[in-house]
Structure 1
């Protein structure tokens, strides 16, 4: 008898959560990301987990600071593509009119500026990033990072 073992492709994993558009919600987004990656096999102490948590922290902080609309939350979606160990991070906020700069056009802030470095970090640490507007009520800023 001839038997073959069929190997299936790893399943894409996804996690989505809505969080309050407050500094507390942004901190929680970072913590939930670290926990989710640990569950998916990238422990807390790994560089991949730390990088993903930092990227989420920056995007969530921007959603709270620039995309906040009174009484509306922001959404964090994590999508893991295990076949190439890529994580896609999406943060959706309710301010479609506040468009972020496009990739490759960022300029460093003045040396004494207290803010303005978040998207520079996202650009430096991710393989791709950008923004999409799917409807007239929200925008999504996303990035992808190789977890290796």
Structure 2
């Protein structure tokens, strides 16, 4: 697999409030429903390995956020023949600990609404609630385009 686990200093501008060292996990996955399911499973396993067991609320919340963002990357960010990337960054030494979840896909032309501008979901539709869950469960979230070829939808959640 294309996984990378490392311990290093934060590198993103949005992480400026984090002053501690961080644990990182990154993997590229196929932009398919199977890839999205695998993203959730690998995130669950990584969180357990980092000390947030499967049966904790923080684990459930974080894996739900990964699942929603991965599903969006597959559904709205897919380009045939291109993967998406999952990156988890654990700020263990923050008080309380925080997890940053990033899903990077190749569709820079399809950006989600900005935080605070999400329209309410229609009761008649079966989809369209993923970012509403992210907005409700994450401490903050957003979208960045660091280069002209990819966009990253990210969120942070307090693990406690």
**Shorter-normalised TM range:** over 0.9
| 1:39-50 mapped onto 2 (5 Å cutoff) | 39-50=49-60
Residue 146 of structure 1: aligned partner = 158
**Quick check: 1:74 aligned with 2:84?**
yes
**Displaced runs of 4+ in structure 1, greater than 6 A?**
none
The offset of 1:10, in angstroms, is 6.5
Matched residues in 2 for 1:57 and 1:83: separation? 25
String of CA shifts for 1:31-55, please: whole Å, max 9, x gaps. Answer: 0011000000000000111100000
* TM-score using structure 2 length: 0.86
The aligned length equals 140
**Greater CA radius of gyration, 1 or 2?**
1
TM-score of the superposed pair, with normalisation by structure 1: 0.92
RMSD over equivalenced CA pairs, Å: 1.1
* Mapped partners of 1:11, 1:141: distance in 2: 22
Match of 1:122 in 2: 134
C-alpha distance in structure 1 between counterparts of 2:157 and 2:66, whole Å: 11
Q: What is aligned with 2:74?
A: 64
Other-structure match for 1:25 = 35
Equivalent-residue separation in structure 2 for 1:145 and 1:86 (angstroms): 6
